[in-house]
């Protein structure tokens, strides 16, 4: 398919290589097109307490750092800053009012950024939305709902039908913005566990079935624990949706076989 029309979703565990390979794909595609001055916009939904995306650019994009612009979405809750000692993993799933991150302010920051991008988005060749799922629903949308329902401590099951549309509207806005300017859109998100009677029975996308189905290409990327004596980190790629080539499993070997090679060899590009 034409790369400018791509709506690529990359799911997988934290630290599994989603962001690294998304940014490498932008860089490698630009260089194949002879564009050394390419611009990639990264909208970072995981920028607190520290931006993984910024660290990723510094660590893995040597020689092209200036080609990547990282814009953080999350805003600090200055009133609660430093009061909690939770790990980032624990903090992520807590409800916003107990956080050191102000997710309601993050929502308004996101809207301001979207508004500013109306005038600047055309200068970019690629858009990467990093860690959009599930934070846009589980944290930002919940915070907006709590602000509108201050008498409530947390949502219950029947409240989610009023919370989820904010996630869908955000996703649709990003897709339409990319399509309007013919910019490829890459979104990363975590996988979430599926349970049956309290037992884990598998994993699924942390967005929704509808959003996952809207991707033109959908994959999971994971990095198995390196074996003793093994030199090269190998990423496993499971592609379960493409326009034509169907489902396939492949491998990324950094420096030898990158994500762009996987997509080309399997007829996606």
- Most distant CA pair in the chain: distance in Å? 57
| Per-chain mean pLDDT for the chain | 86
Distances (CA, A) of 60 to 9, 27, 255: 20, 11, 11
Taking Cα atoms as reference points, which of 9, 55, 60, 12 lies closest to residue 224? 12
* 187 lies in some domain: yes
pLDDT score for 86: 45
* 252 lies in some domain: no
What value does the mean pLDDT take over residues 173-197? 86
Would the pLDDT of 143 be above 70? yes
What value does the mean pLDDT take over residues 67-74? 97
Taking only the tens place, the pLDDT of each residue in 223-260 is: 876 655 455 678 999 999 888 767 899 999 998 999 99
Domain that includes residue 16, residue range: 3-217
Confidence class for position 3, pLDDT limits 50, 70, 90: confident
pLDDT score for 233: 77
Strand order through the sheet with 217-222 = 68-72, 40-44, 126-133, 185-189, 7-11, 217-222, 235-241, 248-252
In the block, residue with structure tokens 């595609």? 29
CATH number at 16 reads 3.40.50
* 232 lies in some domain: no
pLDDT score for 89: 43
Confidence class for position 2, pLDDT limits 50, 70, 90: confident
Query: How many domains does the chain contain in total?
Result: 1
pLDDT score for 81: 57
Query: Of the given ranges (133-137, 190-194, 209-213, 217-221), which has the lowest mean pLDDT?
Result: 190-194
| Separation of alpha carbons 106 and 171, rounded Å | 16
Percent of the chain's residues with pLDDT above 90: 64
pLDDT score for 207: 65
CB 74 within 8 A of CB 45: yes
* 242 lies in some domain: no
Strands 75-76 and 185-189: unpaired
H helices of the chain, in order, are 18-32, 52-60, 88-93, 103-120, 135, 142-148, 160-180, 209-214, 259-265
Quote the pTM value.
0.87
3 state DSSP class of 146:
helix
* 211 lies in some domain: yes
pLDDT score for 232: 60
Q: Which residue has the higher pLDDT, 260 or 90?
A: 260
What value does the mean pLDDT take over residues 55-62? 95
Residue 223 tokens read as: 């990095």
């Amino acid at each position: 398919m034409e790369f400018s029309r791509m709506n690529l979703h990359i799911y997988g565990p934290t630290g599994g290589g989603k962001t690294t390979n998304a940014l490498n794909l932008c860089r490698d595609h630009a260089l194949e097109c002879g564009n050394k001055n390419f611009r990639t916009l990264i909208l970072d939904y995981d920028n607190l307490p520290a931006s993984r995306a910024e660290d990723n650019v510094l660590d893995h994009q040597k020689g092209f750092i200036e080609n990547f612009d990282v814009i953080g979405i999350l805003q600090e809750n200055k009133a609660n800053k430093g009061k909690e000692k939770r790990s980032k993993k624990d903090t992520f799933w807590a409800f916003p009012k107990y956080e050191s991150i102000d997710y309601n302010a993050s929502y308004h920051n996101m809207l301001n950024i979207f508004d500013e991008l109306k005038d600047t988005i055309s200068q970019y060749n690629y858009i990467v939305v990093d860690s959009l799922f599930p934070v846009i629903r589980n944290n930002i949308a919940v915070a907006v709902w709590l602000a509108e329902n201050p008498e409530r401590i947390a949502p219950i099951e029947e409240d989610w039908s009023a919370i989820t549309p904010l996630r869908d509207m955000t996703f649709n806005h990003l897709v339409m913005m990319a399509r309007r300017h013919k910019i490829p859109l890459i979104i990363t998100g975590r996988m979430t566990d599926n349970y049956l009677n309290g037992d884990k029975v598998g994993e699924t996308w942390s967005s929704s079935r509808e959003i996952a189905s809207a991707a033109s290409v959908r994959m999971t990327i994971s990095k198995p624990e390196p074996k003793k004596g093994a030199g090269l980190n190998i990423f496993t790629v499971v592609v379960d949706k493409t326009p034509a080539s169907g489902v396939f499993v492949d491998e990324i070997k950094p420096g030898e076989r990158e994500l762009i090679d996987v997509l080309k060899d399997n007829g996606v590009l």
